[in-house]
Amino acid sequence: MRNFVNGGASLAPSSASHKLESSLIIDERLFTAQEVAERLGVSERWVRDHATRRKPRLRAIKLGPLLRFRWSDVQALVAQQATEKPLNCR
């Protein structure tokens, strides 16, 4: 996210884009599968399974062999599950 001005003569990012990059980095900390599992009270395997193949799908970011998670995506999954009608309820 770098802005180039004067035909590429300046390589410094504009202050607006630099502030945006900084706020994204601070606001969007990425969590490991273990951290997500601990916070949700489930196993790490459950988190990985739902990130890669099972439904409901948990959005994940793949960084090489690593999986990372945005907390906003975890919250969205929890909210989605809370609003759906539970199966076999009496």
**Domain residue ranges of the chain, discontinuous segments joined by +:** 30-78
Predicted confidence pLDDT, tens digits, the chain (90 residues) = 444 444 444 455 555 555 555 555 556 789 999 999 999 999 999 999 999 998 899 999 999 999 999 999 999 999 988 876 666 665
For the chain, the straight-line distance linking the first and the last C-alpha, in angstroms and rounded, comes to 53
pTM over 0.75: no
Beta-bridge mates of residue 63: 66
- b/e string for 24-36 if b means 16 or more Cβ within 10 A? eeeeeeebebebb
- Quick one: pLDDT at residue 70? 96
Rounded distance between C-alpha atoms, residue 51 and residue 49, angstroms = 5
- Quick one: pLDDT at residue 28? 78
Rounded distance between C-alpha atoms, residue 26 and residue 87, angstroms = 39
- Quick one: pLDDT at residue 47? 97
